[in-house]
């Protein structure tokens, strides 16, 4: 079995966790791949360092070692190639990770097949610029459109061409059920069991007494229009570098064709995470 490990060595315990994972997987007869960029930071006999796209294409499954941000980076790679992804938490929350760094002995289940795979819906954010250029971005968590720091904007949201919301707000969040436990939750949105398929729409600081989150069927195509008053808005997809949009640019949010296959070694990890992580005070940052 070929296993591609993508570690985030900025996390305090990720190096030792990666070393332990490599030892266990090697003892189980796995061929271990790792990004070429990690060669200078990590040494383990038998690890093959190679181009990321080559590793993802040739591996049987992927393992991210870090926090939720590391999983988000790997999710797009895994979904585009139809690969299964396991997240090992070395971060602060690690809500999407289904294995903690103290549970590495369970990695042997990857070989025996004693695990479940959860399919997670993803979003596509399609931008059509005023000059006709198009680009598409994949999101596991959310796509966030905002008007800038401390700037309120007028937004209109259409579902399949019909206006469903016209409001003033700091911004809009369009999330998957997986992303419902992230930014949308902090903005007052509900938790959604991630096995469901739907698109969640949550406003950021709406100038209204009656604004509430809305859920749309996965077949719905959402279009966002906004008045920028001469200034640009920004779109952030899964927390990546903001994309600058102007008033005449067109933004469409829809269900993506790709789906993420997330490995849950123990089963029921989502509800355990809700009880043990979201219902508890936040841990200190691992890098402190």
Q: How far is CA 160 from the centre of its chain?
A: 25
Kindly name the residue from 68, 170, 238, 249 that is annotated as catalytic: 68
Measured CA to CA, the distance from residue 247 to residue 230 in angstroms comes to: 8
Give the DSSP letter string of 266-284: SS-HHHHHIIIIITSPPPP
| Residue 197 annotated among the catalytic residues of the structure | no
Q: Region of 113 please: left (phi>0), alpha (psi -120 to 50) or beta.
A: left
Measured CA to CA, the distance from residue 201 to residue 199 in angstroms comes to: 7
DSSP state of 238: T
Measured CA to CA, the distance from residue 89 to residue 49 in angstroms comes to: 22
Number of residues that make up the chain: 288
Q: Over the range 94-118, which residues count as b (16 or more CB within 10 Å of their CB) and which as e? A: bbbbbbebeebebbeebeeeebeeb
Measured CA to CA, the distance from residue 82 to residue 60 in angstroms comes to: 10
What is the set of active-site residues? 68
């Amino acid at each position: 079995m070929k296993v591609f490990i993508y570690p985030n060595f900025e996390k305090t315990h990720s190096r030792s966790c990666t070393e332990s994972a490599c030892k266990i997987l090697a003892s189980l007869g796995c061929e271990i791949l790792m990004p070429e960029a990690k060669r200078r930071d990590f040494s383990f006999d038998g690890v093959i360092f190679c181009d990321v796209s080559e590793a993802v294409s040739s591996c049987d499954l992927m393992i991210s070692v870090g926090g939720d941000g590391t999983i988000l980076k790997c999710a797009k790679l895994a979904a585009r190639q139809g690969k299964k992804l396991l997240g090992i938490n070395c971060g602060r929350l690690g809500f999407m990770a289904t294995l903690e760094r103290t549970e590495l002995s369970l990695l042997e289940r990857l070989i025996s097949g004693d695990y479940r795979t959860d399919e997670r819906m993803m979003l596509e954010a399609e931008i059509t610029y005023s000059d006709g250029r198009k680009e598409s971005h994949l999101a596991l968590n959310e796509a966030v459109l905002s008007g800038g720091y401390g700037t309120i904007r007028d937004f209109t949201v259409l579902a399949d061409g019909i206006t469903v919301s016209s409001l003033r707000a700091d911004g809009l969040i369009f999330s998957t059920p997986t992303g419902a436990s992230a930014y949308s939750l902090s903005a007052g949105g509900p938790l959604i069991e991630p096995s469901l398929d739907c698109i969640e729409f949550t406003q950021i600081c709406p100038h209204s007494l009656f604004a509430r989150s809305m859920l749309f069927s996965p077949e719905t195509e959402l279009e966002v229009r906004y008045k920028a008053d001469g200034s640009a808005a920004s779109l952030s997809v899964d927390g990546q570098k903001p994309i600058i949009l102007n008033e005449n640019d067109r933004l469409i949010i829809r269900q993506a064709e790709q789906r993420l296959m997330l490995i849950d070694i123990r089963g029921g990890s989502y509800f355990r995470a809700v009880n043990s992580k979201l219902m508890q005070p936040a841990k200190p940052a691992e890098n402190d």
